[in-house]
Chain A
Amino acid sequence: MFRFQSLNEDCMLEEEDDGLIEDEDEIDQFNDDTFGAGAIDDDWQEEHKRLAELDERDELGAGLGFGGGGMGGDSDLSTSERPSSTRIPSSVVHPPPPSSLASLSFSSSSSRLPPSDVEDRVGEGDLAESLARLILDADPAIAGVGAAERPGLPPGSSGSGLSALRGLDQPRVLPQPSPILPPTQPHQHPQHQLPPGLPASGLPPSSMLSYQQQQHLLRRGTAPMGQMSSHSIWENSMGFGPVSVTPGLLTHMEDNPLMSIIKEVGHPKRAPQGRNDEDLSERAPPPRSSSPVIGSPPVRAVPIGTPPKQPMSHALNHQNSPLCRGPFPPRVGPVLSQIQRAQLLNSQVAGFPRGGPPPLLPGGGGFRPFFGGPPPPHGHRMGPPPPHGPPNHAPPLRHNTTHLHPQHRRMLTQRMQSRGGDRRPGMDRRSRDPYSNLMTQKEKEWVTKIQMMQLQSTDPYLDDYYYQNYYEKMEKRQEKEQDSSKKEHTTKLITPQVAKVEHTYRPVQFAGSLGKLTVSSVNNPRKMIDAVVTTRSDDEEKREKQVWNKRRQILYTVEKMYSLLLEVQDFEKCFVQAPEEDREALLEQHKSNTEQLCSSLREKEWDDRVSDEQCVMIMSVRKGKRLISRLLPFLPSMQAAAVVMAIARNLPALAKKDKQDQVLCWLVEPVSAVIQSLSSASLTDLLQELQGSEGQLATVLHNKFGVTLLYVILSEGERMQSSDPNCQLMDDNRWTELVFSVTRELLSVPSSSLSPPLFTPPNLLSLFSRYVDRQRLELLQDKLQISALSR
C-alpha cells in the first residue's frame, strides 16, 4: 500500500531544501490532522518544550521499553524517564523477546513482519545500544528544540531502523504528550505488518522509505516523545492517528525510514488486545470526540466571537478531578451569586460518579445545595432541606435532577422505593443479560444532562409555565389539606437560574493597529445585506389596503392589550418572587400597565369615557372578546360598568359579528360579576340600554348571550329588591316600566326565536310575579321554562 516502490529511487539523502519543498504536497496527504483540518497553528516548539517538561515531571516513561528488550545494554537509560517496565501500562509493556521486532506498525498493512526474519538481519547488539542511546538522549533532548536540526546520525543507523523500532511505537504527531510505547509483544500487535510489497527479507525499509518522508519528519517532527498517556486512551482508541517521532529519533536517525513509516501509518491498534478478555457488556464506546486526547488534536483556535463556554462544560470528558470531587454537602449554604450557582450546577450536572438509578427515574433526597442554609440574597423562598436521601436501599439521587419540583422528586422517589423491594428477583435476570450495559452510566448521565439543560431557564414562568402552575396548584391543594405543622412538604421549586451572561460581541482589536479584524463566525455572522424598510406610497393601493389596515389595526391593538393584560395578571406572582428592591419598580410598572389598559379603551386620550367604538372594534375580533372578558375584572368599577354598558348598547352589532365565532358567552361571567356590583340606577340604565331602540330587544332575545344577560340583569334587580326593601330601584318608574316591556316582549316573541340562555337565575319567577298577573305568569313560566322551584 505504501509507495515503497516509488520511494526506491529517493532513498539517497539529498539536499534538504529541495526535497522538502517539492514534495511537500505529497507529504500533506498523509496527514490531514497535521496539515489539514485539524492542524494547529501554534508554535510546536513551545508546545514541545512544555510537554517535554511535563514528561519529565510525570515520569511516564516515554515508553522506552528498551529497558526490557533485546536492546542489550541499557546502560544509557537515562534516569528519570527510563521507566522500568512497571511504569508503563501493563498492556503495553512487556520486555520484548529479543526476537520481536514487532514495532513496525502500519495501519493498513496486512501481513506481519516475521520477527525472526528481521532479527536475523539486524540483530547487532551494538546497533541496538546506540539506538537506545539515541532514543534516550532524545528524551531529555526534547527540551532542546535544536535537536531537530542536529544532523548526523551515528553510524550504523541505516540498519538500525528495525531494531530501533523494536523499542518504539509510534507516538503521535500531536503536540500533545504522545506516548512512545515500548516494544510490545508480538501478539499485541497483530497489525504490525509490513505491506505486502515489502520483501520478506525484511530489508530495512529504510532503503525503501522515501527521503521526503524523512525530511518530512525532520521538518515537522518534533513531536514530543511524550509521556505515555494513560492506559485508557489506548483502550478506547479505535484507530490511530498520525504519528510523530521524537526529535531525538529523527535527528539521530534521520535516515531511519522505518520511523517515518511508522509515523505515517499510525499507531498500532492496541485497543483490541486489552479488551479481549473483557466482558462484552463492559465495552465502552469511544468517548465523545470533544476529548482532546483521542482523535484530532484539540482545536485551540476558538473562533472569534464564540460566546464564552461554561467553565465546566467539558467536565464530562475529563474523567478526573471534577468528577471525582465528592458531592456537595447537603447543607452548603448557598451564599453564591446567581452566576456561581449556575456554574456550580453545570459542573455538578456533569458526570457525577454515583451509581444509582437511571437518569430517567431519579430518586429523591441527596444533596441539594439550593435547599440548605440561609436564603440567597435574591430572596427565593427556600424550604428546609428535604430529607437526607431515601432509605439505604433506594438509590441515591441523581444530582442532575435538582431541577425537579420537590413534589415531583418525591413522587419519583416513592415510586423507586416501592420497586426497591422487588429488585431481588430481578437481579439474577439482569446479571445474566449480556446486552445490559450497552449504555454506560456516563452516557446516560450525559443524555440526562442535556435534557436537564433544557430545563434551565432564566424565566421559569415563561419557559415552563404549565409545569410550574401545575405544581403550584398541587401545593395549594396540599396546603389546604394538611395542617400547618407539616411545613416541610411545601418546599418551593427552585429552578436553576442560568446566569444571564451578556454575550455582546466586541470585535477583536489589536493594540496599536488600525482598524478591526473582520472575522465572522457562526456566533457572530457578518451583516451581508442592509435591509431597509420602505413603505410604498401608492395611493390606490392605500385605499384598498385601508380595509385590511383597519383589521390589522384592531388585531394589533388587541395584541398589545393582551400582553399588558398578561403582565397585569402575572403581577402578583412576580411581585411575590421579586427581591425587595425590585418590588417598587414592579409596582410602578403594574400601575402604568393598568393605566395603559384603561386608556386603550378610550378613543381619544383626553376623553375619559370608554369609547364605544373602540370596544366594539375590539370585540369584533374573537381574541378581542376573550381579551375583554379577561380584562373586566381588572378594570376600575367605573370603567368596567362603562364597558358593560357599551356591550349592552351595541349588542345587536356584536351579536351579528359574533355569528361565526359564537364566543360572546365568554363574557357572561365577568359581566355578571360587574353587574352584581352595579348600583340600582346603573342597573336600570343598563336594562334600558339593553332594550335600546325599537326592536333591539327582539334581537337580544334571539341571541343566547343577550338572553342570558337580560336574565342576569333582571335577577340582579330582583335580588336588590328582595334583599333591601328600601332599594332605590322602585324610586322611579323606569325599572318597572322596563320590566313591563321586557315581559311584553317575552310573551310576544315566538318561542322559536327565543334562544335558551346559558342559565336561568332562579329568582326570575319571583321577579315576574311582582309585575304580571297570574295568567301571564304562567305563560311566561311555560315559555321560559322556569320551574317554580329554584334550581
Chain B
Amino acid sequence: HQQLFEKHLVLLRDGRTLIGYLRSIDQFANLVFHQTVERIHVGKKFGDIPRGIFIVRGENVVLLGEIDMDKPCDTVLQQVSIEEILEEQRLQQQAKQETEKVKMQVLKDRGLSIPKADNLDEY
C-alpha cells in the first residue's frame, strides 16, 4: 500500500528525472505518474517543472525509487525558478556543443575521425 502513497523518482533513458506519485505499474515497468514534476539539474541548481500525469513506457525506465519524505533533507542543491533552470540548461548544452565541435575539428585536422554514436542512446 505504501508504494503508491509516497512519491517516486524515476530516471528515464533520455536523462530526464521525474518525480511524482506512482499510481500504477505493470510487469513491463510501464508507469503511471500522478502530479508529476520534471526536475532539471544543472550544476548545483535544480528546477521543477510541473507536468501533470505521465505515462511512461517501461522500456524507457532506467531506475525507479521511492522517495523517503521523512528523511531529513540535507542536500546542497539549490532550487531555482523554472526560467532560470531552463536557461542554465540551455547554456550547458551550448557549452557542450562547443567543446564537441572543437574536438571534432582538432581530430579532423589530425586526420582522425571518431564516429559519433548516433545510433546509441545518449547516455
| Contact assessment for B2 and A447 in the assembled complex, using a CB-CB cutoff below 8 Å | no
Select from chain B the residue with minimum beta-carbon distance to A426: B5
Q: Which of A357, A435, A447 touches B25 (beta carbons < 8 Å)?
A: A447
A629 to B6, CA, bound (A): 50
Q: Which of B1, B24, B69, B70 touches A357 (beta carbons < 8 Å)?
A: B1
Asked whether A438 and B4 contact (CB < 8 A) given A447-B25, A447-B26, A451-B27, the answer is: yes
| Contact assessment for B24 and A438 in the assembled complex, using a CB-CB cutoff below 8 Å | yes
Q: Given the complex, which residues of A lie within 8 Å of B1, measured CB to CB?
A: 355-358, 430, 436, 441
Select from chain B the residue with minimum beta-carbon distance to A446: B27
A36 to B68, CA, bound (A): 53
| Contact assessment for A438 and B23 in the assembled complex, using a CB-CB cutoff below 8 Å | yes
| Contact assessment for A439 and B5 in the assembled complex, using a CB-CB cutoff below 8 Å | no
Chain B 47-74 interface 0/1 with A at a Cβ cutoff of 8 Å (1 = within)? 0000000000000000000101110000
| Contact assessment for B5 and A360 in the assembled complex, using a CB-CB cutoff below 8 Å | no
**CB of A433 within 8 Å of the partner chain:** yes
**CB of B39 within 8 Å of the partner chain:** no
Q: Given the complex, which residues of A lie within 8 Å of B25, measured CB to CB?
A: 439, 447
A357 to B66, CA, bound (A): 13
Select from chain B the residue with minimum beta-carbon distance to A427: B5
Q: Given the complex, which residues of A lie within 8 Å of B46, measured CB to CB?
A: none
**CB of A668 within 8 Å of the partner chain:** no
Q: Which of A433, A439, A441, A450 touches B24 (beta carbons < 8 Å)?
A: A439
Q: Given the complex, which residues of A lie within 8 Å of B32, measured CB to CB?
A: 438
Q: How far is the CB of B24 from chain A (nearest CB, A)?
A: 5
**CB of A483 within 8 Å of the partner chain:** no
| Contact assessment for A419 and B68 in the assembled complex, using a CB-CB cutoff below 8 Å | yes
| Contact assessment for B3 and A435 in the assembled complex, using a CB-CB cutoff below 8 Å | no
A447 to B28, CA, bound (A): 9
Q: Give the secondary structure class of A's interface.
A: loop
Q: How far is the CB of A444 from chain B (nearest CB, A)?
A: 7
Q: Given the complex, which residues of B lie within 8 Å of A443, measured CB to CB?
A: 24
- A344-377 interface with B by 8 A CB criterion: 355-361
A779 to B3, CA, bound (A): 70
A83 to B121, CA, bound (A): 66
A429 to B6, CA, bound (A): 10
| Contact assessment for B4 and A439 in the assembled complex, using a CB-CB cutoff below 8 Å | yes
**CB of A422 within 8 Å of the partner chain:** yes
A438 to B1, CA, bound (A): 11
Select from chain A the residue with minimum beta-carbon distance to B3: A358
A425 to B70, CA, bound (A): 9
| Contact assessment for B70 and A358 in the assembled complex, using a CB-CB cutoff below 8 Å | no
| Contact assessment for B23 and A435 in the assembled complex, using a CB-CB cutoff below 8 Å | yes
Chain A 615-635 interface 0/1 with B at a Cβ cutoff of 8 Å (1 = within)? 000000000000000000000
**CB of B34 within 8 Å of the partner chain:** yes
A359 to B4, CA, bound (A): 11
| Contact assessment for A436 and B2 in the assembled complex, using a CB-CB cutoff below 8 Å | no
Select from chain A the residue with minimum beta-carbon distance to B6: A426
Q: Which of A358, A441, A450 touches B2 (beta carbons < 8 Å)?
A: A358
A443 to B1, CA, bound (A): 12
Chain A 458-493 interface 0/1 with B at a Cβ cutoff of 8 Å (1 = within)? 000000000000000000000000000000000000
| Contact assessment for B27 and A436 in the assembled complex, using a CB-CB cutoff below 8 Å | no
| Contact assessment for B23 and A450 in the assembled complex, using a CB-CB cutoff below 8 Å | no
A433 to B6, CA, bound (A): 11
A107 to B90, CA, bound (A): 56
Q: How far is the CB of A395 from chain B (nearest CB, A)?
A: 8
Q: Given the complex, which residues of B lie within 8 Å of A437, measured CB to CB?
A: 4
Chain A 638-671 interface 0/1 with B at a Cβ cutoff of 8 Å (1 = within)? 0000000000000000000000000000000000
Chain B 1-30 interface 0/1 with A at a Cβ cutoff of 8 Å (1 = within)? 111111000000000000001011111000
| Contact assessment for B23 and A439 in the assembled complex, using a CB-CB cutoff below 8 Å | yes
A470 to B60, CA, bound (A): 27
Q: Given the complex, which residues of B lie within 8 Å of A419, measured CB to CB?
A: 2, 68, 70
A691 to B106, CA, bound (A): 44
Q: Given the complex, which residues of B lie within 8 Å of A360, measured CB to CB?
A: 3, 66
A356 to B70, CA, bound (A): 20
Q: Given the complex, which residues of B lie within 8 Å of A429, measured CB to CB?
A: 5
A404 to B7, CA, bound (A): 25
Q: How far is the CB of A495 from chain B (nearest CB, A)?
A: 19
Q: Which of A435, A447, A450 touches B34 (beta carbons < 8 Å)?
A: A435
Q: How far is the CB of B69 from chain A (nearest CB, A)?
A: 8
Chain A 172-183 interface 0/1 with B at a Cβ cutoff of 8 Å (1 = within)? 000000000000
| Contact assessment for B5 and A450 in the assembled complex, using a CB-CB cutoff below 8 Å | no
Q: Given the complex, which residues of A lie within 8 Å of B26, measured CB to CB?
A: 447
Q: Given the complex, which residues of B lie within 8 Å of A439, measured CB to CB?
A: 4, 23-25
Q: How far is the CB of B75 from chain A (nearest CB, A)?
A: 19
Q: How far is the CB of A358 from chain B (nearest CB, A)?
A: 3
Q: How far is the CB of A426 from chain B (nearest CB, A)?
A: 7
Q: Given the complex, which residues of B lie within 8 Å of A444, measured CB to CB?
A: 3
| Contact assessment for A357 and B5 in the assembled complex, using a CB-CB cutoff below 8 Å | no
Q: How far is the CB of B1 from chain A (nearest CB, A)?
A: 6
| Contact assessment for B27 and A447 in the assembled complex, using a CB-CB cutoff below 8 Å | yes
Q: Given the complex, which residues of A lie within 8 Å of B23, measured CB to CB?
A: 435, 438-439
- B52-108 interface with A by 8 A CB criterion: 66, 68-70
Q: Which of A356, A422, A433, A447 touches B5 (beta carbons < 8 Å)?
A: A433
A356 to B2, CA, bound (A): 9
Q: Given the complex, which residues of A lie within 8 Å of B68, measured CB to CB?
A: 419
Q: How far is the CB of A432 from chain B (nearest CB, A)?
A: 11
Q: Given the complex, which residues of A lie within 8 Å of B6, measured CB to CB?
A: 426
Q: How far is the CB of A635 from chain B (nearest CB, A)?
A: 41
Q: Given the complex, which residues of B lie within 8 Å of A425, measured CB to CB?
A: 70
A198 to B70, CA, bound (A): 64
| Contact assessment for A422 and B3 in the assembled complex, using a CB-CB cutoff below 8 Å | no
Select from chain A the residue with minimum beta-carbon distance to B26: A447
Q: How far is the CB of A397 from chain B (nearest CB, A)?
A: 15
Q: Given the complex, which residues of B lie within 8 Å of A358, measured CB to CB?
A: 1-4
| Contact assessment for B2 and A435 in the assembled complex, using a CB-CB cutoff below 8 Å | no
A416 to B77, CA, bound (A): 28
Q: How far is the CB of A652 from chain B (nearest CB, A)?
A: 30
A374 to B27, CA, bound (A): 36
A451 to B29, CA, bound (A): 10
| Contact assessment for A436 and B24 in the assembled complex, using a CB-CB cutoff below 8 Å | no
Q: How far is the CB of B105 from chain A (nearest CB, A)?
A: 28
Select from chain A the residue with minimum beta-carbon distance to B35: A435
Q: Given the complex, which residues of B lie within 8 Å of A438, measured CB to CB?
A: 4, 23-24, 32
A435 to B34, CA, bound (A): 9
Asked whether A436 and B3 contact (CB < 8 A) given A419-B70, A422-B70, A447-B27, the answer is: no
Q: Given the complex, which residues of B lie within 8 Å of A435, measured CB to CB?
A: 21, 23, 34
A430 to B69, CA, bound (A): 13
| Contact assessment for B2 and A357 in the assembled complex, using a CB-CB cutoff below 8 Å | yes
Q: Given the complex, which residues of B lie within 8 Å of A359, measured CB to CB?
A: 3
A422 to B23, CA, bound (A): 21
A444 to B5, CA, bound (A): 14
A297 to B27, CA, bound (A): 26
Q: Given the complex, which residues of B lie within 8 Å of A436, measured CB to CB?
A: 1, 4-5
The 8 closest A-B pairs by CB, nearest first: A358-B3, A450-B27, A422-B70, A438-B23, A430-B5, A439-B24, A360-B3, A447-B27
A-B contacts, 11 of them at CB < 8 A, read A358-B1, A360-B3, A361-B66, A426-B6, A426-B69, A435-B21, A435-B34, A436-B1, A436-B5, A437-B4, A444-B3
9 A-B pairs besides A360-B66, A422-B70 with CB distance below 8 A are A358-B1, A358-B2, A360-B3, A426-B5, A426-B6, A433-B21, A436-B5, A438-B24, A439-B23
